[in-house]
Amino acid sequence: MSAIKNIFKRRSGKDNSLVESLKKITKFKPTKHLYYEKAFTHRSTNRKDELGNPISYERLEFLGDAILSSVVAHYLFDKAPSGDEGYLTKMRSKVVSRDHLNEIGKELELSNLMHSKIPISQFGENIHGNLFEALIGAVFLDKGYIVCERFIYRTVITPHVNIESLEGKIISYKSYIIEWCQKEKKTFYFENEKDLGNDLLKHFSVKLRIEGKVIAKARATSKKKAEEKVSKRAYFALQGKIDKNQ
């Protein structure tokens, strides 16, 4: 831990600023600062601990994802007593969807706290949700489950979760568009294009054609993300026709 402590010490001015920012976000004073330092460090900084392990938010993101899923599952179990396993799983997926977590991460302006050698503008939308999950992981390790649960209720469940509205929420625009095209017997095709951008992070460009016509275009840091993004744009472009046929 000494190597990490030395990093933290050298960055004392900036890290004091990090702690002050986190106090406003979490509504408590962080105690184990090193967890939060890790939660906002991107692997592009090439930092390593004394054992040579990379220092980045990714491990905390994994932990935060599991804690968030557990808290949301408990909430839904209590609030939807008539829901079966399939219903509860679907509803949980909507609460912890990448788009939803990205929105929360943006609201909290977490990307402003990240240390990275890559400009924030070159990251995809998912960086916001990834950092939010990493923050949850840091809160859990710093304060324990009860405080972390309260933090999740305050940032996710209380302001954003409503059972009735969730039932009509779309969690995968790609799946929705594919199902609609199949139902309406329309041909569709996701056309991958060579991305000519100069971003440090590799991007993928995709067009969605329906009945041979380009409906939408999008680019993102993975093929999966680009296809979901282009599907969302297509949904809003075709919303009048889609809603009419439901």
Catalytic residue annotation:
65, 133
Contact 168, 91 (CB under 8 A): no
Q: How far is CA 141 from the centre of its chain?
A: 20
Contact 181, 188 (CB under 8 A): yes
Q: Which residues contact 37 (CB under 8 A, 6 or more apart)?
A: 4, 7, 8, 11, 15, 18
Q: What residue has token string 């993004």?
A: 229
Rounded distance, CA 6 to CA 33, Å? 13
User: In whole angstroms, how far apart are CA 158 and each of 109, 153, 161?
Assistant: 19, 5, 6
* DSSP H or E stretch at residue 217: strand 213-220
User: In whole angstroms, how far apart are CA 209 and each of 48, 121, 177, 215, 230?
Assistant: 45, 28, 11, 6, 10
Neighbouring CB atoms inside 10 A of 75's CB total 20
**Is the C-alpha dihedral spanning 65, 71, 74, 77 positive or negative?**
negative
